[in-house]
């Protein structure tokens, strides 16, 4: 009971003025050493900007869809094809980001500023190298990609420029993810958040100008959206590099540190491969579920997609708290404080559980009004409501599962969550979904039900693996 009281009182500041002061500190950037002081305060200072960072990252897609939707179905289809190909870029970027966060956090906890800077520079260099083959594919192979994806002639004519520019400029995506991972590892979550402010503001302003040819800007249609998005992300990267190369943040990198250190880059690459596979397994499992739901018609698929959009937006704050746990694990292991690292994870998980528990109650009670915000199709609404409610039943378990997975990654142990994902998603969730959907009377509800069951299993397995403590011995 005493431990529970301690957790609650240390999760947030104790009074209104203290709360707002802490919010202000979190947004402006905190100079706190996260290996010392109150754990609850550390979680709060890291989580606030990380939550906003996750929400800002999703804003790119929302803004682009908002404007491109006005150009017709062919334009939307070209964006959808390009986004599906971009999952490769996101997979590589997220894998490299996991390695960067774990390594920089460990060096920061060791009070090895030079080591953190060197790891940051080599991570960035690795990201640039990884982006080059994708850029070449974008420049010379986009037409072939569209053909392989079954694009019709109208989609090809409309969207080829969009796909070419987005893929050729993938370095902006890679670096925006990667450098923000460096900032998060160093505990500088506010700078990561601000880089996305710059990127999104530029994208919001430029998107309609380049799409519709406002004033002196050329009218490039859907291609203009790609130009605006790439410039916007590029603006964010310029801000990131300015912070890194100047004396403005926690990590200060010198140009001389970008000289290739092949040994360290190979170490980072090996660490990131587990993260790439981990993300790929999870993404592929969602695609498999989508394929199963498609068996029950377009209404079921549409309802699933509407519910999924609501679900993803709602769990963005949870990813912020999970990333905060990853930073605290890495830094405290580097400081030789594994017990503090472990305690940070349990407290972050508790805070996440409270948040998602509240979200679950709202979603179960208001499922139909929420779905009706996005569609008024009477055939789609029942599927959307059913999916939203089924998924919400597992939210408390999701809270713990997300924190556990990110905590392993923060310790540099990308292998354990990859194995857990492979077992819980591919060997359990997909067979269960198929059985419930095809061999019982549940239909599409069987697929929906398999999601919270599998995610709950993932949380339990993750917590049991975490309690073993082998992650504390991981060398990064």
CA distance 25 to 43: 13
Give the pLDDT score at 406. 93
The model scores a pTM over 0.95? no
Residues 6+ apart with CB under 8 A from 90: 173, 177, 279
Q: What share of the chain in percent tops pLDDT 70? A: 95
- Lowest mean pLDDT across 128-132, 299-303, 348-352, 422-426: 299-303
DSSP calls for 71-82: G-HHHHHHHHHH
Q: Cα(7)–Cα(220) distance, rounded to whole angstroms?
A: 54
Looking at residues 341-353, what average pLDDT do you find?
Answer: 94
Strand, helix or coil for residue 321: helix
Give the separation between CA 114 and CA 391, rounded to whole angstroms.
Answer: 45
Task: Give tens-digit pLDDT for 232-281.
Answer: 999 999 999 999 998 677 888 999 999 999 999 999 999 999 889 888 88
Average pLDDT over residues 177-196: 92
**Predicted confidence band of residue 116 (pLDDT cuts 50, 70, 90):** very high
**pLDDT digits over 26-41, tens only?**
777 767 778 888 888 8
pLDDT grade for 17, boundaries at 50, 70 and 90: low
In this prediction, residue 172 carries a pLDDT of: 96
The number of angstroms, rounded, from the C-alpha of 155 to the middle of its chain's C-alpha atoms is 29
Residue 401 near residue 320 (C-beta atoms within 8 A): no
The span from the CA of 298 to the CA of 307, in Å, is: 14
Q: What is the mean pLDDT of residues 410-419?
A: 92
> What are the backbone dihedrals phi and psi of residue 5, each rounded to the nearest 5 degrees, phi first?
-65, -40
């Amino acid at each position: 009971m005493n431990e529970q009281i301690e957790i609650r009182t240390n999760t947030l500041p104790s009074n209104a003025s203290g709360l707002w002061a802490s919010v202000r500190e979190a947004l402006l950037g905190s100079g706190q050493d996260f290996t010392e002081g109150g754990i609850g305060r550390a979680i709060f200072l890291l989580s606030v900007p990380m939550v906003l960072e996750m929400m800002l990252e999703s804003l790119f897609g929302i803004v682009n869809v908002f404007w491109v939707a006005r150009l017709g179905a062919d334009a939307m289809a070209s964006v959808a094809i390009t986004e599906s190909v971009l999952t490769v870029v996101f997979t590589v970027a997220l894998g490299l980001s996991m390695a960067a966060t774990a390594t920089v956090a460990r060096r920061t906890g060791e009070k090895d500023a030079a080591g953190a800077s060197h790891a940051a520079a080599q991570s960035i260099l690795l990201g640039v190298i990884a982006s080059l083959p994708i850029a070449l594919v974008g420049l010379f192979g986009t037409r072939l990609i569209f053909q392989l994806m079954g694009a019709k002639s109208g989609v090809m004519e409309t969207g080829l420029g969009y796909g070419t520019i987005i893929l050729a400029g993938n370095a902006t995506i890679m670096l925006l993810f990667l450098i923000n991972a460096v900032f998060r590892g160093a505990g500088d979550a506010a700078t990561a958040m601000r880089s996305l402010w710059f990127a999104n503001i530029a994208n919001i302003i430029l998107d309609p100008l380049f799409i519709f040819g406002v004033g002196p800007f050329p009218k490039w249609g859907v291609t203009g959206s790609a130009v605006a998005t790439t410039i916007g992300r590029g603006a964010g990267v310029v801000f990131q590099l300015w912070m890194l190369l100047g004396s403005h943040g926690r990590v200060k990198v010198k140009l001389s540190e970008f000289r290739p250190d092949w040994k360290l880059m190979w170490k980072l690459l090996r660490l990131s491969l587990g993260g790439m596979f981990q993300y790929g397994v999870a993404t592929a499992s969602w695609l498999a579920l989508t394929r199963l739901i498609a068996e029950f018609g377009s209404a079921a698929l549409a309802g699933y997609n509407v519910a999924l959009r609501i679900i993803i937006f709602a769990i963005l704050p949870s990813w912020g708290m999970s990333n905060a746990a990853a930073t605290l694990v890495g830094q405290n292991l580097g400081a030789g404080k594994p017990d503090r690292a472990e305690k940070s994870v349990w407290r972050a998980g508790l805070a996440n559980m409270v948040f998602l528990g509240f979200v679950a109650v709202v979603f179960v009670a208001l499922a139909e009004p929420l779905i009706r915000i996005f569609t008024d199709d009477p055939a789609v609404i029942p599927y959307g409501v059913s999916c939203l409610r089924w998924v919400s039943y597992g939210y408390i378990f999701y809270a713990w599962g997300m924190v556990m997975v990110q905590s392993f990654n923060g310790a540099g142990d990308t292998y354990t969550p990859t194995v857990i994902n492979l077992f819980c998603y591919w060997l359990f969730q997909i067979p269960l979904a198929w059985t419930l959907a095809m061999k019982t009377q549940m239909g599409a509800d069987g697929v929906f039900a398999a999601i919270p069951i599998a995610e709950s299993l993932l949380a339990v397995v993750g917590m049991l693996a975490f309690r073993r403590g082998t992650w504390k011995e991981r060398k990064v």
